[in-house]
Structure 1
Amino acid sequence: MPNTHDLGGKTEYFGPIPHTPTEPVFHADWERRMFGINNFLHTLLGPDIDTFRGHLALLPPEEYFGPYYRRWIPGIERMFARYLSGEKRVPKLKLAATAQVVQRIVTRPRLPKVMNARVMPKIIGTHKQAKGPARFAVGDAVRVRPAPREGHTQQPDYVSGRLGRVTEHRGAAVLPDRRFATGSSAAEHLYTVVFDGVELWGDRAEPNTEINIELFESYLEPA
């Protein structure tokens, strides 16, 4: 599967996005069950969302570009094949599993917006303290490094090699790429980088277009 983070930036994916305002959350009972099974398995075995998304991103195009919940089936199969093969150990059902159940209950949409927006992300979110200082500052010119050819990454390949400017330091967060590959939850500095449309798409870009993209520190190098 081509990098899913390229879907909005490469010309082969340009075009209108179909949207039906009255579309239901679930089109059939099997989708509702798939949603429930996925949440139950995540609670039972404790896989993080980055691992699940990584397996989805690595699906072949014929599976990825199908119905949304249908792609969850092979994604879950690949995720739990790592347990069946012995690559990952099934965690013991102790306090961690119980805590995840409680988290899913208290984070239901019925909570006040301020709780969902400001309190719960600090409790169960992926923002953490990085070990070292930030390498880049607001205003720095940066160039995006080449994206890896194998494995899962959240780096959009259409910005690889392109020049941009740091507009904001977003703190630090768990790097999904590393978490998927090794299980590490080490945090890395995260930045908002602005790119000129001409830098990304040349003369095909609309005039005065700027794109803001959040990129991890390991994706960047000084320009």
Structure 2
Amino acid sequence: MKTLLLLLGLLLLVCWAYARAKGRPAASPHPLASTEAFELHVGGQVYEIRLDEPVTVVTPGGEEVEVVLRRKEVLHYAGDGLAFDYPAALQLGRETEGGITTLTLEGTASPFVLIQIYPSSNTPEEVLGNLLEAFENEYRARQAQFLNGNGRSVERTVGGTTRRGRVLAFRLGGQQIRTELYAFPHHDAVVALILQQDVEEAALAEDYFAVITRSLR
């Protein structure tokens, strides 16, 4: 299990580097929206339509109607024994290895969410302890500078229940990074929740995290 967790630490660093390499978000979380074109079919007519740009169409009855195509702000995931909402600006990834399912949520900004579903043969204390050790060892190997408050306890409401976890606070590659780690029983499994952010984007991260944590069931 420790080998898998060390690989998980590497995965988190890779995802972090990838998110940072893509740069900060533009004014819209979907910077290419203005170049996306769609066809809207109304009766026998075809209209070219773009996101967030109004277009007037004629209904089969001859009535002119203005329509606007909007992207959903919040999407929903249900599977693997849990369900939650998440911002549409984040891309959802999923993989299963060694009986552990990993869900990742990342976008063009720094906030990153990782959810793991472990078999009930693991305890939350065991999962949290192993995660904390693996992440600290990995960051230390990468010469991260740990900051005041690293390792302290933290609380966050997840699905209406107060969960207690631990914080990793460090500086790496010029960024000050905060990672929250939680593990708790969930139905017939144990769920690990990791929330990571560049502290410069704390407000955006909290908005993203709140959508996920308040809806996770």
Specify the TM-score bucket, using the shorter chain as the normaliser. Answer: under 0.3
TM-score norm. by structure 2 comes to 0.27
- Greater C-alpha Rg: 2
Q: Structure 1 or 2: larger helix share?
A: 1
TM-score normalised to the size of structure 1? 0.26
Instruction: Please identify which structure carries the higher strand content.
Output: 2
